[in-house]
Amino acid sequence: MSSLWDAVDAAFQRLEAQAGFEPRPVQRQMAQFVCEQLESGHSGMVEAPTGVGKSLAALLPAIAYSLQYEKRVVISTYTAMLAEQYWRKDLPLALSLFPNAPPVALAMGRTRYACLHAIRDNKRPRVPVELIRFLQEWAGVAQEGVESELYEFLRRKAIPERLIHGVWQAVAVPSACRARRCPYFNTCFYYQAREQARTAGIVITNHAFVLMDALVRRATEDNASLLDDYDFLILDEAHDFLDAAANALEFDLDSKFIDSLIGHAVTLSNQTQDIFPPDSAPTGFLMSVQKLVEGYAGRVRDAYEQLAFPPDTPREGVATRVAPESLTQMRAMYGAYRPDLHAPVVHAASALRKEIGDLYRELGQTLESYKGQLTEAQHEEVKELWAQFSREFALAHGNLGRLMEPQEGVSWIEADEERWKACYEPLVIADWLRENLWRTRPALLMSATLTIDGRFDFFREQFGFEAQATLQLPYVFDYRRQCALYLPLPGAIPPPPPSARAPGAEEYYQRLADQISALIQLTQGRALVLFASNNEMRAIRQRIQLEGVRILMQGEGAVADLAKQFREDVHSVLFGVRSFWTGFDAPGETLVNLILTRIPFEVPTTPLQRARQAWFEAQGLDAFRAWSLPMVKLQMRQGFGRLIRRADDWGIVALLDPRIRTKSYGSEILHNLPAGIEVFDTLPALTDWVRQKTGSSQVK
């Protein structure tokens, strides 16, 4: 064995000597594999089912590697919530097992941190007056200055929810700021995190930040970065990196983008004003800047309002540009492609690009015109500030260009509340990831669900990832003993309707709500209900009234805060969508009832989905078999994994979609779940099983 493994083995021995710890041979097996990849500089893939302890199995080798070779390892997971879990729970334990520790850092995007300038100087008028004192108190005691910390603090202070709602958006770090010139720079949560990350041997972050770092490097030809140089990348929850990459590369020209484009300019104006002392501010210069920004804001809104289309344009959306153009000839694109409607998109995007360019040209001219009213230091500070803001404008300028003429991908339009929006997304991200991530350094991809039908092939192809080695570990938990599967008989619930307005939708929602209510009562709460869409979640919530049962619902607070409340209130119920299908951890008695309302198929109705189907058709592949079904198998495995988190956990998994029994692909989905689980098809039979597990006659 290598000297690296010797250090990791010693750490495991210290861990195993702790009271109550049960050694896991598969965890050691995975750690050995990680050591091999780190020392060889090779890329690899690991499937480590729930219970393996993959976080420690990756952290211990990474820490030893950083200490022994003075290397920098970036460890990324899907969401900010999961990154904070690594930072607060997994990393401290891992570090405690070594005599020495490398410097470590938590690094996330700007808006994940609170702005001290906004809080200390009360610069955000949207903050309720009653909260200002509490925010300033929190700023003095916060460790990382992140959203979950703030909400936890305010809840301890018994602040009413009506005051808390939306406060984070009011105090988060803006997209650009005065940086070193800010009076709070030396204590700024964001810049402190950036500085710690610059020299840290272990950096904990999320997928969005890794991808943004790659985008910044590409845009600046490697002259700027967010993570600086590092030697090895470890992606946990790697199956979600596909979504994260698509989100990073997509672009929407909509009202939110327009608001952000204007808001960025307004913030530039406000922060320019903050540079100068109130009693000696160059009034003429500041008024000129303000006037430029006001004129720019009006013209930007006008440009967006010109994005109009004929009355017969389908409100559900239609593609206006597809690259390569040959995809438009595929069957999947019939009726979904209208190149004649691309002209308004080009017109609006071109006008916005012009406004961005004109704003910076006119700002530069204004600065030179008033140079005599500014000290040399003030002049340089204004230039530095505007240079920071220029990066966001440059990114918007580039995204508008891709919308106008995509090199690869699809541009489309769809209705957006009272107006239209124009969107762009690439169809294939493998080449982009290969060029901007995998070629620069080795990586380890790990997840509890990285194989489909027992093979790594799907993610290899989608990521464009070349793994020199793979490891698939066996299940750790005894699912046959710990778990029951509830599949209602055909007819108990109708097939899911395509939309809330489709025939039979009302009956479907009511019967689904009845089943969910009965299941929640069976376990006296303690349930996680996972939905495929927000619309269905809200529709069911309206139809469920259970006395004495607290129902938490995604969207009614920060995800991390909702998760914490669910864990603390044992008999509560949590309704969730995408964020809770993956990575969510609630071991013990707080979760014994996992309800999956429907198979989360991607219905190929949007222009993006139709174009993706066309891409598979062009490759001679069946899109359902090559994309839709593998993605469903993955998500169902992920959802299933929320239930059993420890060896003494038990519970039921209810799959309430009748297609699991009536369609041929249902058996394929079930085949990707652990084998041998007892299946029940009626509530009375399931109730008997729950009674046996609880030893209680009180179960209804």
| pLDDT at site 699 | 47
Please give the average per-residue pLDDT across 2-28, as a whole number: 91
Contact predicate 419/307, CB 8 Å: yes
pLDDT digits (tens, 9 = 90+) for 171-196: 999 888 888 888 999 999 999 999 99
Is the alpha carbon torsion for 104, 106, 110, 116 positive or negative? negative
Q: Taking 60 as the threshold, does the pLDDT of residue 696 lie above it?
A: no
Mean pLDDT calculated for residue range 469-480: 95
> Per-residue pLDDT tens for 629-651?
999 999 999 899 889 988 889 99
What span, in angstroms and rounded, lies between the C-alpha atoms of 432 and 449? 23
- Predicted confidence band at 700 (pLDDT cuts at 50, 70, 90)? very low
Q: Parallel, antiparallel, or unpaired for β 483-486 and 651-655?
A: parallel
Per-residue pLDDT band for 697 (boundaries 50, 70, 90) equals very low
pLDDT in tens, 140-157: 999 999 998 998 999 899
What integer is the mean pLDDT of 46-70?
95
Q: What is the DSSP letter of 624?
A: I
Place of tokens 């509560």: 572
Contact 193, 105 (CB under 8 A): yes
Strands 483-486 vs 409-416: parallel, antiparallel or unpaired: unpaired
For residue 124, name the pLDDT band (cuts at 50, 70, 90).
Answer: low
Instruction: Please check the confidence at residue 419 and state whether its pLDDT lies above 90.
Output: no
Residue 318, sorted as left (phi over 0), alpha (psi -120 to 50) or beta, turns out to be beta
Residue 615 CB contacts under 8 Å (≥ 6 apart), including other chains: 327, 427, 428
pLDDT band (50, 70, 90) for residue 220:
confident
Predicted local distance difference test score (pLDDT) of residue 187? 95
- Cα distance between residue 270 and residue 53, in whole Å: 48
| Residue 314 confidence (pLDDT) above 80 | yes
Omega of the bond prior to 282 within 30 degrees of 0, cis?
Answer: no
Query: What is the tens place of the pLDDT at every residue in 522-539?
Result: 999 999 999 988 989 999
Six token digits for residue 177 = 């700021």
* Residues 529/573, Cβ–Cβ less than 8 Å: yes
CB neighbour list of residue 28: distance below 8 Å, 6 or more residues apart:
9, 12, 57
Q: Using 50, 70 and 90 to split pLDDT, how confident is the model at 126?
A: confident
0.75 cut: is pTM over it? yes
CB-CB contact of 281 with 273 (8 Å): yes
Q: Could you read off the pLDDT of 662-684 as tens digits, one per residue?
A: 999 999 999 999 999 999 999 99
Report residue 130's pLDDT band, with 50, 70 and 90 as the boundaries: confident
Percent of the chain with pLDDT over 70: 98
Helix (H, G, I), strand (E, B) or coil at 307: coil
Rounded CA-CA distance 374/288 in Å is: 14
Question: Which band of pLDDT confidence, cut at 50, 70 and 90, is reported for residue 661?
Answer: very high
Q: In which band, very low, low, confident or very high, does the pLDDT at 123 lie, cut at 50, 70 and 90? A: low
**Gap between the Cα atoms of 114 and 686, Å rounded:** 48
Confidence band of 500 (pLDDT split at 50, 70, 90)? confident
Does residue 548 have a pLDDT over 70?
yes
- Assess whether pLDDT exceeds 90 at residue 56: yes
Q: Is the pLDDT of residue 546 over 90?
A: no
Cβ atoms 592, 525 nearer than 8 A: no
CA distance 65 to 3: 10
Of 680, 672, 615, 624, nearest in space to 652 by CA: 680
pLDDT digit string, tens, across residues 388-409: 899 889 989 999 999 999 989 9
pLDDT (tens digit per residue) in 266-282? 999 999 998 998 888 89
Percent of the chain at pLDDT > 90 equals: 73
Residue 298's alpha-carbon distances to 261, 287, 555, in angstroms, are 12, 17, 32
Predicted confidence (pLDDT) at residue 219 exceeds the cutoff of 50: yes
**In sequence order, what are the beta bridge partners of 655?**
596
Whether residue 451 is predicted with pLDDT greater than 60 in this model: the reply is yes
Asked whether residue 370 carries a pLDDT value surpassing 90, the answer given is yes
Residue 284, both tokens: 């003429």
**What pLDDT does 222 receive?**
85
Confidence of residue 579 (pLDDT cuts 50, 70, 90): confident
pLDDT higher than 50, residue 485 = yes
CA–CA separation, 292 and 300 (whole Å): 12
Cβ-Cβ contacts under 8 Å for 624 (sequence gap 6 or more) = none
CA distance 282 to 618: 62
Instruction: Average the pLDDT over 365-393 and give the result.
Output: 92
Residue 422 neighbours by CB under 8 Å, 6+ apart: 252, 253, 254, 307, 320, 345, 348, 349, 403, 411, 412, 413
Q: Three-state SS for 369?
A: helix
The contacts of residue 52 (CB under 8 Å, 6+ apart) are 24, 26, 27, 30, 448, 473, 476
